[in-house]
């Protein structure tokens, strides 16, 4: 899969910005875990949002950002699939399905179960760690924010 360059915008790599985004992603997940039992749909949507932020950090670490346009969430998902590669195809496919499910929650009348919301949190935690490790591996000279 090759990503359409028209969907990306060059961005200077800034690890202060990347660390802040990772921090926000982590805090979002922590918030979801505290409120999970109260609203599964909102918890799922926020969990997806955390993964989106994590993907943005990955993209920024590679010197790009998505152009703000219709479909930029998909651009982030596709970028993550490409960078993380086949080794992580399972989790990036799950992330892609979560994007579609989140859209149905937001724009339709679909909802998720407690099990789906809990599984989403586990997936997002794993994804965060994978992306964090990838950024560190690609940029060993940089110190990333750690929870």
Domain-located, residue 1: no
Domain-located, residue 74: yes
- For residue 19, give the H/E element and its range: helix 15-35
pLDDT score, position 31: 94
Domain-located, residue 146: no
| Residue 65 φ then ψ, to 5° | -145, 155
DSSP, res 69? S
Residue pLDDT tens, the chain, 147 long? 456 677 788 989 899 999 999 999 999 999 999 988 889 999 999 999 999 999 999 999 999 998 876 668 888 999 999 999 999 999 999 999 999 899 889 888 888 999 999 999 999 999 999 999 999 999 888 777 777
With beta carbons less than 8 A apart as the criterion, state whether 18 and 135 touch: yes
With beta carbons less than 8 A apart as the criterion, state whether 65 and 11 touch: yes
User: What is the domain-level CATH number for residue 58?
Assistant: 1.20.120.330
Quick one: which of 106, 127, 123 has its CA closest to 57? Answer: 127
Tokens 């479909």 belong to residue: 71
Domain-located, residue 147: no
Find the domain containing 121 and state its range: 7-138
Reading the block at residue 81, the tokens are 């699939």
Question: How many structural domains comprise the chain?
Answer: 1
């Amino acid at each position: 899969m090759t990503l359409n360059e028209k969907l990306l915008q060059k961005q200077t790599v800034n690890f202060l910005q990347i660390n802040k985004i990772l921090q926000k992603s982590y805090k979002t997940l922590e918030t979801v875990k505290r409120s999970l039992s109260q609203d599964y749909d909102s918890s799922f949507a926020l969990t997806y949002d955390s993964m989106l932020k994590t993907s943005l950090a990955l993209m920024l670490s590679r010197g790009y950002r998505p152009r703000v346009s219709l479909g930029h969430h998909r651009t982030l998902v596709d970028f993550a699939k490409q960078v993380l590669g086949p080794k992580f195809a399972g989790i990036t496919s799950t992330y892609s399905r979560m994007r579609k499910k989140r859209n149905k929650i937001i724009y339709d009348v679909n909802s998720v179960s407690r099990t789906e919301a809990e599984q989403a949190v586990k997936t997002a935690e794993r994804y965060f760690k994978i992306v964090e490790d990838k950024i560190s591996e690609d940029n060993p000279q940089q110190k990333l924010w750690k929870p």
